[in-house]
Chain A
Amino acid sequence: MTPVRAPADLIAAVLGGDRRALARLITRVENRAPDALEALARLHPHTGQAAIIGVTGAPGTGKSTLVNALALALRQRGQTVGIVAVDPTSPFSGGAVLGDRVRMTDLAGDGGVFIRSMASRGSLGGLAAATGDVVRVLDAAGFAIVLVETVGAGQSEVDIARMAHTTVVVDAPGLGDDVQAIKAGILEIADILVVNKTDRPGAQNTVRALRAMLELGHRLRNAGHHGAGLLPAPLEALAVDSWTVPVIETIATEHTGIADVLAALDRHRAHLHGTGEIADRERQRVEAELLARLREALLARLLAAHDPATLAETVRRVVARELDPASAVQALVAAACGDGSAPPA
């Protein structure tokens, strides 16, 4: 019934603060609609103003409640807040129940807040493939702060560190012993660590374990800096860092400790700008994004270059042990690119 508006109209409306147009454009971006690319290209010059803050952590640690409390506090300072909350898509049905708004009802009725729920739609890094683009739309729409809440993340959903200027990792008491704290992954990406639900038993153990982990981590980071090669290249610059990760205790349901988190966010932002690290992060973010987009575009072209029957036949040969997967891929790439990069089959 509602006419689909041309992207030009939609973009002008979004830049002019039309919330309905903003919601519509986000849908088109999320769906990878053909005209969304053009819209994003035209919005690009308007981006780069927002502070992008990632909030990640295991399921049930209180990420949504913390986001709600942080957004309220930011609003009290007069800053506008866009929120992108990602929840997982079912790998079986492709459907999703997105429940983060349940914890964010305090923000209802505030024109300075815009909340959008996103399903991960098959992405495994804790975000959806289009989350970065949706953040960009909110940035262009003029929100001063964009809070990105990841899916309940475990040990390897670290994409958020490449997207956000500041990454907050939320932990809660009783989720694991101090060996969990020294494993690789999500704790390593924290710029700020929050131990939420500190009214629960065992909270001080969690705080202690995290502080001990950070002390170990600092020495390793320095060793990595001089020894080189200890960390994979894409996150290398994140590790070369004079920032001291604070551990902050909160009870988000009661808004306890939120002012401390806000102060830490401000300190981190000042640190990023003061040291010039913000430029490093931006360069790194763009590089990671370009690589991801290249991967997606090349895969699509490669798949389009092959007859589905060829793929099915290749799968059959690998299953029958006539061919191994690595050689099969080399042959498929060589056939599509004609560059002789694979040895003759």
Chain B
Amino acid sequence: MTDEKIRVLIAKPGLDGHDRGAKVIARALRDAGMEVIYTGLRQTPEMIAEAALQEDVHVVGLSILSGAHMALIPRILEQLRAAGMDDVLVLVGGIIPDDDIPALREQGVSAVFGPGTNTDNIVRFIRTALAAPSA
């Protein structure tokens, strides 16, 4: 009688105050049957890793529109690793130039979803990635 749910942390690191995209994703993942922990604006890398650990999530979704992604994301990945959360799936959304994507992928980001991404694609990506043997 186990009742497993996909748990996702949606966080907005950094200082920009635009959280509409993050809320749209949170709602879409909820409608796909996932449990979404929404942490709100202005989260530090430390706060994100701590929340991911306490909530024991499978996925961390980061929304960044400030352009600070190349500074913030490596620190978040480092904090997640330090917390022993290196098996968590890290997804990034927001305004991320194409040129930066390979570097982010190399550091451990599983996927980058830009503006206009169909939310069904994100749901499918998460389900596929978590169904893979490593999960």
Seen from chain A, the residues whose Cβ lies within 8 Å of a Cβ on chain B are 1-2, 19-20, 23-24, 26-27, 30-34, 89-90, 92-99, 101-102, 105, 108-109, 114-117, 119, 121, 300
Assembly CA distance A307 to B73 (angstroms) = 53
Interface centre among A20, A24, A96 (most CB of B within 10 A): A96
Output the least CB separation between B131 and chain A (Å). 14
Output the least CB separation between A21 and chain B (Å). 10
Output the least CB separation between B110 and chain A (Å). 13
A-B contacts counted at CB < 8 A amount to: 96
B50 partner residues in chain A, CB cutoff 8 A? 108-109
B31 touches A115 (CB 8 A): no
Given A96-B36, A105-B40, A121-B3, are A1 and B134 also a contact pair (CB < 8 Å)? yes
Please tell me the size bucket of the interface on B. 35 or more
Given A23-B55, A95-B31, A97-B26, are A31 and B87 also a contact pair (CB < 8 Å)? no
B35 touches A119 (CB 8 A): yes
Q: Which of B2-32 contact A (CB under 8 A)?
A: 2-5, 7, 26-27, 29-32
B29 partner residues in chain A, CB cutoff 8 A? 95
Q: Which of B70-90 contact A (CB under 8 A)?
A: 83-87
Output the least CB separation between A266 and chain B (Å). 27
A90 partner residues in chain B, CB cutoff 8 A? 30-31
B40 touches A101 (CB 8 A): yes
Among B32, B38, B87, the residue within 8 A (CB) of A2 is B87
Which chain B residue lies CB-closest to A113?
Answer: B54
Interface centre among A98, A105, A114, A119 (most CB of B within 10 A): A98
